[in-house]
Amino acid sequence: MIKIFNVAYKNLLRKKARSGLTIIGIALAAWVLVSLLGFNKGYESSLNRDIDNLGFQMIVTAKGCPYEAATLMLKGGTGLRYMPQTITEQISKEPEVEEVTAMLMQAVFDPNKGESGGYSAYLGVDPATFPQMKSFLEFKQGNWFTNPEAMEAVLGYEAAELEQREVGDLLLITEKNVEVKVVGILKRTGTQDDGTIFLPLKAVQKIFGIKDELTGIGIKVKKDANIAQFEEKMYKLPDVQVVSLAQVKQTIMTLVSTAKVMVFSIALIAILISVVGVINTILMSVMERLQEIGILKAMGATAWDIFKLIWLETLILCISGGIIGTALAMATAKLTEVMIRQLLPYAPSGGLVQINSALVILTFGVVILIGLLSGVYPSWKAGRVRPLEAIRSQVE
Amino acid sequence: MLGVTMMKTISLMFWAAAVLLIPAELLLAAVGCDLNDPDRDVARLFPGSTGYKTNYVAIDQKGGPPLLAQIEDRLGDKFQGLFETIDVPYTLYEVFKGKDKIGYIHGVNEKGQYGGIQVFVVLDLEGVIKNFYFQKLTSRYGKELRDPKFGEQFVGLTLKDFYNYDVQTGKTSGPSGVERIKNPVPEAQPDFKAALRGAKKNLILVDEFILGNKYLQYHKAGGEQKK
């Protein structure tokens, strides 16, 4: 076997340029395959993580226009109506619920923001439950509130950057003329939290004179719970509406699946091109060496020996291309990600291209399969060569 | 033979890829200070203008730490805190009337008492202030500070007028055009000081980025006098 390998290897060396170009072709196909599959995996898991990082899978808001509810969930805007705080206890008693957190969003008009004024929004959160639910939030400076009624604020990174605030600084709620002290600056998360100013729920209720009322309740559902059934239960509550991230996630995933078909189509085209390239190269090589193959057979080589030799040459080309392509894909994963982010600025946060060992093994499997399949016809053709005819044809 | 060549090619590919790898942190750089609505704001701040060109300049790209040190020296204060950093991209608008360049608009973020202040200056080609504008100001005395009369006090001043103004103490040493700028409300002193620091920083950056350090000679002369 080692001898056959050496012969096959040396045969490839005889036409370096052609062998090199074929390897590059296979490497490019492998690069495209690994990068596309890695992107597919990375995008899906980043999207999942971003949705999970919201901390809760469901938001219950006071009944009103569903677009306001969606805005509250996605953009952190204000809800138009309020619901009693007692609903929180009612919801937390449901068996599907792991945790709930009460929220009150308020906004004030600041006439000195921009040319014609602008709104500043404040999200009142329950210090006992919100930080636990959003345990992925990390602090650049400081920490959460010192007590549940403190006139203190925690700022998302972008909110702090815009307001140029650091821990110990004051923040003015203009319309109410109330000062709050900044006690924490969050690190960037890539989510809506970056632009949010958090205050203790009770402080917001006190500042804005809203007693025992909320604009939203975040619900973390148990992992094994039937979300659809639980949603139905929530809809039965009076004067509330439910915005479920499970629905949003499902819709996004349907869109992602459509994109997946495109991705796999491109990968399939790349594979087909490389298969045709390999067949062409090996077939050309066989036709050029007909006389040589004829002599080998005349010296006693069987059809199977010739078949193995040509097949091995194909495999060497494919495996070399596979190694280079996979290495290239791994080395340029970050660059690919940067380029994707340029094209898709609203792509989910985190690693968009995830190349793991399973993906590498899969790619090698595909590349070896390409080698085996594309080598069959040229090898079979070489094995069927009749020695005398082959030798004579070259002499003539 | 091919094996060696192939290994060389692979290692070259690895190095090329390594050089091209860009840290993800670069995607999360600091933010600058842009006009909220440049089409509207440029026309309003620079009457008679017909167009503008937007340029982005950062100290780390323009000259790195030595440039930062020079800017801090001219300002008379260190860049401070989480957000006043070397990588902040400053947005400089070159303003045109037809094909002729007629001036500049530049804004900076400054830390105020209760929030971020965005200080914009409108300059002619010589670096003389033609207009002063707070795009954003969170203050109990926002109304007074945003009054056009307050901004008018800056008109006609250049960076030369700010050199004798100490941004840390808020006092002037020697003749300074800044003396004519009066705080409309004594209680607004922290934001008043921040506005003057923002204006001085703004003028220094424009001088460094686009005026070719035209006003550096006055800083050096001032430094020599102090010695």
- Token reading at B42: 């440029």
How confident is the prediction for chain A on average, in pLDDT? 84
Least confident of A162-176, A196-210, A241-255, A330-344: A241-255
Highest mean pLDDT, choosing among B3-7, B30-34, B126-130, B169-173: B126-130
Residue A321 confidence (pLDDT) above 50 = yes
Yes or no, beta carbons of A163 and B113 under 8 Å apart? no
Phi, psi of A204 (to 5 degrees): -65, -40
B91: left (phi over 0), alpha (psi -120 to 50) or beta: beta
Which residue of chain A is at minimal alpha-carbon distance from B116?
A163
Q: Measured between CA atoms, how close is B222 to chain A, in angstroms? A: 31
Paired sense of beta strands A178-186 and A152-155, if any? parallel
Residue A395 confidence (pLDDT) above 70 = no
CA–CA distance, A328 with A360 (Å, rounded to integer): 12
C-beta of residue A23 within 8 angstroms of C-beta of residue A320? yes
Yes or no, beta carbons of B116 and A162 under 8 Å apart? yes
| Nearest Cα residue to B201 out of B136, B118, B130 | B118
A32 or B198: which carries more pLDDT confidence? Answer: B198
Interface test with A, best of B114, B185, B201 (most A CBs within 10 A): B114
- On whether any CB of chain A is under 8 Å from the CB of B37, the answer is yes
Yes or no, beta carbons of B135 and A165 under 8 Å apart? no
In this prediction, residues A189-213 reach a mean pLDDT of 90
CA–CA distance, A180 with A176 (Å, rounded to integer): 11
| Torsion on CA atoms A44, A45, A50, A51, rounded to nearest 10 | 70
pLDDT at residue A241 in the model: 84
Which residue of chain A is at minimal alpha-carbon distance from B88?
A161
Question: Which B-chain residues 90-109 have CB contacts (< 8 A) with chain A?
Answer: 109
Collect contacts of B141-148 with beta carbons under 8 A, ≥24 apart: B141/B184, B141/B185, B141/B187, B141/B188, B141/B191, B142/A111, B142/A112, B142/A174, B143/A111, B143/A112, B144/B184, B144/B185, B144/B188, B145/B184, B145/B185, B145/B188, B145/B191, B145/B192, B145/B195, B146/A112, B147/B184
Q: Compare CB distances from B21 to A158, A320, A334 and report the shortest one's residue.
A: A334
pLDDT at residue A119 in the model: 79
Yes or no, beta carbons of B1 and A13 under 8 Å apart? yes
Residue A149 confidence (pLDDT) above 90 = yes
| Torsion on CA atoms A115, A119, A120, A123, rounded to nearest 10 | -170
Residues of A with Cβ-Cβ distance to B21 under 8 angstroms: 331-332, 334-335
| Nearest Cα residue to B117 out of A230, A207, A169, A289 | A169
Which residue of chain A is at minimal alpha-carbon distance from B109?
A164
In this prediction, residues A8-20 reach a mean pLDDT of 86
Residues of B with Cβ-Cβ distance to A111 under 8 angstroms: 142-143
CA distances from A368 to A12, A51, A321, B131 (A): 17, 38, 10, 70
C-beta of residue B202 within 8 angstroms of C-beta of residue B121? yes
| Nearest Cα residue to A394 out of A272, A271, A286, A262 | A286
pLDDT in tens, B49-104: 999 999 999 999 999 999 999 999 999 999 988 889 999 999 999 999 999 999 99
- On whether any CB of chain A is under 8 Å from the CB of B31, the answer is yes
pLDDT band at A68 (very low <50, low <70, confident <90, very high): very low
CA–CA distance, A103 with A114 (Å, rounded to integer): 28
CA–CA distance, B217 with A236 (Å, rounded to integer): 76
CA–CA distance, B205 with B211 (Å, rounded to integer): 9
CA A16, A19, A25, A28 torsion-angle sign: negative
Residue A84 confidence (pLDDT) above 50 = yes
Element (H, E) at A10: helix A2-14
A241 or A115: which carries more pLDDT confidence? Answer: A241
pLDDT at residue A349 in the model: 67
- Burial class of residue B191 (count of CB atoms within 10 Å of its CB; 0-12, 13-18, 19+): buried
Q: How far apart are the first and last CA of chain B?
A: 71
Residue A101 confidence (pLDDT) above 90 = yes
Highest mean pLDDT, choosing among A54-58, A250-254, A349-353, B195-199: B195-199
- Token reading at A193: 């939290």
Interface test with A, best of B83, B109, B134, B201 (most A CBs within 10 A): B83
In this prediction, residues A103-124 reach a mean pLDDT of 83
CA–CA distance, A152 with A207 (Å, rounded to integer): 12
Q: Which residues pair with A218 in a beta bridge?
A: A59, A101
- On whether any CB of chain B is under 8 Å from the CB of A161, the answer is yes
| Residue spans per domain, chain B | 30-226
pLDDT band at A258 (very low <50, low <70, confident <90, very high): confident
| pTM of the complete model | 0.64
pLDDT at residue A75 in the model: 46
Question: Which A-chain residues 9-28 have CB contacts (< 8 A) with chain B?
Answer: 12-13, 16, 19-20, 23
Element (H, E) at A110: strand A97-110
Beta carbons within 10 angstroms of residue A358's beta carbon = 10
Interface test with A, best of B136, B137, B185 (most A CBs within 10 A): B136
- On whether any CB of chain A is under 8 Å from the CB of B142, the answer is yes
| Residue spans per domain, chain A | 2-51+252-395, 64-238
In this prediction, residues B168-177 reach a mean pLDDT of 86
Yes or no, beta carbons of B82 and A140 under 8 Å apart? yes
CA–CA distance, A329 with A41 (Å, rounded to integer): 14
pLDDT in tens, B102-161: 999 999 999 999 999 999 999 999 999 999 999 999 888 888 999 999 999 999 999 999
pLDDT at residue B71 in the model: 95
* Residue indicated by tokens 């009103």: A64
Q: What percent of chain A has pLDDT over 90?
A: 21
